[in-house]
Structure 1
Amino acid sequence: MAMMIVMYHILPILLAILCVECQQVQPLLRYPKPVCGTRKISTRGLIVGGSETVPGEWPWHAAVYHVQDEGRVRKYVCGGTLIGAKFVLTTASCAGNKHRRGKSDASVVELGQYDLAESSRQKVEVAVKRAIVHEQFTFGTPKNDVAVLELRHAVSFTDYIQPACLPKESEAIKEFESETGTIVGWGNKLDGVLADRLQSAQVPIISLIECLQSDPDFFGKTLNTGMFCAGRKNGTAPCFGDAGGGMFFKEERGWVLRGITSFTSAGPIGECNTQQFFGLSNVVYYLEWIQNAIGKSQGHLRRKNSTSRSCGVRSTAIQGLGRNGEWPWQAAVYHVHRGSNPGREFACSGTLIGSRYLVTTVSCARYEAKNGTNFPIVVELGHVDLNDSASPRVSVGVRKVFVHEQYVRGDTKHNLALLQLRNPVDYTDHILPVCLPDSSLSDMQFGNRSGSLVGWNTAERLQSVQLSIVRCSGSDVSSKVFCAMSENATTNCVGDEGSGWFLNKNEVWTLYGVVSEPRKGCDYQQYLELANVATFSAWIKNKINQQDD
């Protein structure tokens, strides 16, 4: 049986594009996420070439309806994917009204649905509150064909209603070329009739070169950044009504949405061309746009590698000090031992400044084993007790260490390093970035500013202490270093290297200092020397921008 995805809007034959319409997606940005991409219903295997599914097999797939004539007319138009309790991801061509920019005909979404011709107890119908269409989308072209549907109220997750996972920022679609994913929809069958029961088919991702070579005239005009191709050219393809549905990949963390069915070429008489590849919107390419669209609707904005006002704010769900989430940017850095005595050892602290970046010291990040090689590094985020495995911690490997070019072993002036994580972390109540300073510490009055030093010290549980800026008598300090000390004889000890010193202004926390190695050991009467982060802000941002370009 051929699997075809139905598209509601057919673009002009002159363009030979059939746009597909879809639904919205929601990743929860700065709140704890539900488990995503997990089926609650046992299913049989899928059949390559298209097959009927069973109820609950694709619990994140949604049906999008346009309601007209004051609710008297309701028409199925496309699919979508649930990505959170209040958001569905679909195509802009489905979500938007071509005559009224910013308005939407996609008025109703059905979740938990399997058979469009029958009603079921597991089905939930929710009105669409708002359609957020990509600002650069134009009807008649598949470029930027992505939209988010915000539902009027959050849905409850059941065996038949679950969110799909979104890809991670680092997972480029090129890495998945030739791999097989699953497309889902109620599109037209071979006889041209809309399928009542949800269909699925397995198709591979095709390289852009192969896609262009298959039909240079069509794909040469339509393919653009933010798109990719898939298909088998054997009758297994999307058709009218399948637009907006997802292409999913089974991974360790669950089913991940990587593509949104968008367009295919037309046959001689305008029918779906099932003997050709089809085009999809690349979800990872639009990931930041999706997250920002959702963030705006929730009253906050998430920016990639944020060092703006969206940083440095504790979650309102965290009440009281000494709890998980009090210092959500604090990280524990571990050195990983291999060989005859494998394991890992707590080495120092670090501070999260973006979804993929931490600041710590060079002497910690580049710690060498006896044979002269550097230890692999693992970072833990989201907890306060090093020995409490039940705390909401996240463990991430370090991909790359950036050492300040002027660092010399034993010198505190440039003892600052930037860690790039292997994968971006999701922001939650317990994991958030802190702000970087814009102004220099030299603007402060010495001895008149007190900030919070945070670290594990020699304890298992995270500690914090107030330290005031002091003059560094007898030391060779420069503008890149400042000193701080506590009035009640508390200072840093073993385990606090790399810890941050933070200032709070209007409930927004900023990282101003990073603790270097104590020159005189664990001495409670000795001031601390800290790297002045303000003088390194440009270096840090430059390194991040070089990686993200």
Structure 2
Amino acid sequence: MLEKMDLAAPAQESPCGPERRCIFRSYCVKETVSIYARAEIDFRASETCPHNLQVCCKLENIQVPVPAPNPKFECGVRNIEGKPVPIVKSREEETDFPEFPWVVAIFLNASTEQKFIGGGSILAPNVVLTAAHIVYTRRTQDLVARAGEWDIHSEIEPLRHKNCLVLETICHEQFHTGTAIYDIALLILRTPLELTHHIMPVCLPRSLEFLNFERCFVAGWGKPSFEQVASMRNVLRKVDLPIVNRTECQQRLRSTRLGRYFELHESFICAGGERGLDACTGDGGSPLFCPLLDHPNQYFQLGIVAWGLGCHTEDVPGVYANVFQLQKWLRKNLKDLDVNPNYFTPTFTTEYFDRQMHSKNLTKL
């Protein structure tokens, strides 16, 4: 659904000149052109707009899509073109807005400003999943979880983000600051989030879930390199990675400075090892998620960015907290908090039901 911009509403003076305004490229359309028919759109590019995804557009050609009410709640659903959300296209390595609505930015309230410290993911309206090493030494009252974020240095998104203060921090009791084993934590929000198109939870994998491990995603605002001079990214970035099995990962890590006696702890899982494709410093706490084979547009969180040896190094996988392995701890705490599991549990499919019945039949044999 498209609606004309309210031209009667007061606006700041436009750098584009009279009768024009800076707007996202996908919102500058001709009257008879679909918002997604980009090949036919007459862009009015200008270097004067404050954001590189904006263009100067005639007022009569500005049309902004209005999200339709969400008819069915589902966790882990990726927003892609064709869905009733105001998609904003970006560069290839950056996410579109709001492509992965469960990704959260975590900030530290400093004296004069909020400082970005890592990522997280939404499990329920009042629960965020992150890495323990991000929050372990922080005062709970200083933490802020920002949901629905995309560009952390601007507020140009068509739907506003939501800042939430943290009421309680729950880190795994066996988390070790030196080795980062059991690197998992829950943030309990002081005010529950209102779930909408750009703020939704991710799914947690069930025991009989069939995931596609060939290409998973990690999404965060971390630095592009490990160098001190590198700065955090403005726009949420995505990287597609393969899951690396434990034996292979341990063997690869033993060939590094960790040495031949290194043992990969059971609370870790590995992904990546491809040149130029990796999480990096600042991505800590961000989710690693994989598509469901039965429904490839629905994602389940498999890991949490934990640590690595540099960034983007070929044949050296990144190491993530193993969400599947840590589910017993995770689900116990969620149950103790009286969190409704329907928020992070997908609806039953025929395929899953068949697998469940087959599993029960095998148990009887």
Instruction: Give the shorter-chain TM-score range.
Output: 0.5 to 0.7
Are 1:155 and 2:201 counterparts? no
Correspondence for 2:317 among 265, 277, 282: 277
Aligned counterparts, 1:89-128, within 5 A: 89-97=129-137, 104=140, 107-120=143-156, 121-128=159-166
| CA distance, structure 1, for counterparts of residue 352 and residue 313 of structure 2 | 44
- Check if 1:166 corresponds to 2:123: no
Shift of 1:399: 5.2
CA distance in 1, matches of 2:164, 2:361: 39
Who is 1:420 aligned against?
360
Provide the C-alpha distance between the structure 2 equivalents of 1:298 and 1:64, rounded to a whole number of angstroms. Answer: 24
Measured in 2, the distance between the counterparts of 1:398 and 1:189 equals 41
SS in 2 for 1:265: coil
Shift of 1:400: 6.9
Higher strand share: 1
Secondary structure of the residue that 1:131 maps to in structure 2? Answer: strand
Q: 1:395 to 1:277 in 2, by over 3 A?
A: closer
Q: 1:213 to 1:297 in 2, by over 3 A?
A: same
1:262 aligns with 2:262: no
Residue 219 of structure 2: aligned partner: 184
Distance verdict in 2 for CA 1:397–1:197, change over 3 Å: same
Could you report, residue by residue, the CA deviation over 1:88-118 in whole angstroms, capped at 9, with x for unpaired residues? 11100012217xxxx5376101111110110
* Rounded Cα–Cα distance in structure 2 between residues aligned with 1:76 and 1:58: 19
Q: 1:38 to 1:117 in 2, by over 3 A?
A: same
User: Cα 1:74–1:194, aligned 2, differ >3 Å: closer, same or farther?
Assistant: same
How far residue 237 of structure 1 moved from its aligned partner, in angstroms, is 1.2
The residue aligned with 2:123 is 83
Matching residue within 262, 267, 270 for 1:226:
267
Whole-Å separation in 1 of the counterparts to 2:263 and 2:114? 31
What does 1:130-141 align with in structure 2 at a 5 Å threshold? Answer: 130-141=168-179
CA distance in 2, matches of 1:152, 1:265: 36
Query: Which of 260, 281, 285 lines up with 1:244 in the alignment?
Result: 285
Cα pair distance change 1:170/1:285, threshold 3 Å: farther
Contact 1:55 1:114 in 2 (8 A): yes
What SS does structure 2 have at the residue aligned with 1:221? coil
Q: Which amino acid aligns with 1:183?
A: V
CA deviation after TM superposition for structure 1 residue 247, in Å: 1.4
Q: Secondary structure at the match of 1:210?
A: helix
Letter in 1 for 2:240: Q
Shift of 1:234: 0.4
Choose 222-231 or 110-119, whichever is displaced more: 222-231
Q: Deviations over 1:252-295 (max 9, x none)?
A: 171111111111014xxxxx464421101111111121111122
Question: Paired residue for 1:146?
Answer: 184
In structure 2, do the counterparts of structure 1 residues 395 and 198 end up closer, same or farther at CA, with 3 Å as the change threshold?
Answer: closer
Whole-Å separation in 2 of the counterparts to 1:162 and 1:225: 29
Counterpart code for 1:116: I
Matches within 5 A, 1:412-491: 420=360
Deviation at 1:398, TM superposition (A): 6.4
Q: Distance in 1 between matches of 2:161 and 2:88?
A: 21
- The equivalent of 1:396 in structure 2 is 353
Asked which structure has the greater CA Rg, the reply is 1
- TM-aligned CA distance change 1:45 to 1:65, over 3 Å: closer
On the 8 A contact 2:109/2:142 being kept in 1, the answer is: yes
Task: Indicate how the Cα distance of structure 1 residues 44 and 114 shifts in structure 2: closer, same or farther if over 3 A, else same.
Answer: closer
Residue identity over aligned pairs, in percent, reads: 25
* TM-score (ref. length: structure 2): 0.65
Match of 2:102 in 1: 60
CA contact (8 A) 2:129 2:185 kept: yes
Is the counterpart of residue 36 in structure 1 residue 71 in structure 2?
no
Alpha-carbon contact 2:291-2:300 (below 8 Å) kept: yes
- The whole-number CA distance in structure 2 between the counterparts of 1:60 and 1:398 is 28
Query: With CA pairs under 8 Å and 6+ residues apart, which has the higher RCO, 1 or 2?
Result: 2
**Matched residues in 2 for 1:280 and 1:194: separation?**
20
Normalised by the length of structure 1, the TM-score is: 0.45
Question: In the aligned structure 2, how far is the partner of 1:223 from the partner of 1:246?
Answer: 20
Residue 199 (structure 1) aligned with residue 237 (structure 2)? yes
Deviation, structure 1 residue 73: 4.0
CA distance in 1, matches of 2:75, 2:203: 5
Q: Secondary structure at the match of 1:291?
A: helix
Q: Distance in 1 between matches of 2:100 and 2:355?
A: 34
Q: Is the 8 A contact 1:246 1:261 kept in 2?
A: yes
**Which residue pairs with 2:65 in the alignment?**
none
Q: 2: distance between equivalents of 1:240 and 1:421?
A: 47
Deviation at 1:421? 7.6
CA distance in 1, matches of 2:133, 2:150: 23
1:149 deviation in Å? 0.8
Cα RMSD (Å): 3.5
Give the gaps of 5 or more residues in structure 2.
1-71, 82-86, 342-347
Describe the shift of the 1:238–1:40 C-alpha distance in structure 2 as closer, same or farther (beyond 3 A): closer
CA positional deviation for 1:210: 2.0
CA–CA distance in 1 between the matches of 2:188 and 2:232?
26
The 3-state SS of whatever aligns with 1:51 is coil
- Superposition deviation, residue 215 in structure 1: 2.9
Provide the aligned length of Structure 1 versus Structure 2: 272
User: Structure 1 residue 250: deviation in Å?
Assistant: 2.1
Where do 5+ consecutive residues of structure 1 fail to align? 1-32, 267-271, 303-380, 382-392, 402-418, 423-542
